[in-house]
Amino acid sequence: MFKKIVVPVDVAVLDKGMDILKKAAELCDPDGEIILMHIVEEVPSYLSIDVPVDLVDKAVTDAKDKLHELKARTKIDAAIEIRIGPPAREILACAKEKKADLIIVASHRPDISNYLIGSTADRVVRHAPCSVLVRR
């Protein structure tokens, strides 16, 4: 059993989020903690002139709402955390700061672009300070 599990969820794909949250609940110690998180990617500065000023704020609010909805649907107690930045970097930073002993991340089927630049799950696996479970 794991004491602290970080569960990064893409709120655009809540079905995968539900799957990995349920797996976290199965693997979490009764006295453990699950950190349900979403990362809002920053808007590149060269695009910021063309997007609404409050785009990131709206994305954060939407993500919080969807994570609360996911918690309610699964009835699993988890702390919610929203971060802004590159997904892999923020997942790894959260795991390190919270002293997590497991990260559970969803992954899609790889295509050629993943072999050239690597996916978020690949980066998390390579650089994580703890164990990583990748669910497909």
Q: In this model, does residue 52 exceed pLDDT 80?
A: no
Tally of domains within the chain: 1
**pTM of the entire structure?**
0.89
Q: How high does pLDDT run on average in the chain?
A: 90
Strands annotated E in 63-130: 79-84, 102-106
Which token pair is 42? 């920053």
Domain containing residue 103? 2-135
Q: Is 133 in contact with 103 (CB distance < 8 Å)?
A: yes
Per-residue pLDDT tens digits for 59-114: 999 999 999 999 999 999 999 999 999 999 999 999 999 999 999 999 876 665 55
**Where residue 79 sits, what CATH number does that domain have?**
3.40.50.620
Q: Count other Cβ atoms within 10 Å, centred on residue 45.
A: 7
Looking at residue 47, what is its pLDDT? 64
Looking at residue 109, what is its pLDDT? 65
Q: In this model, does residue 8 exceed pLDDT 70?
A: yes
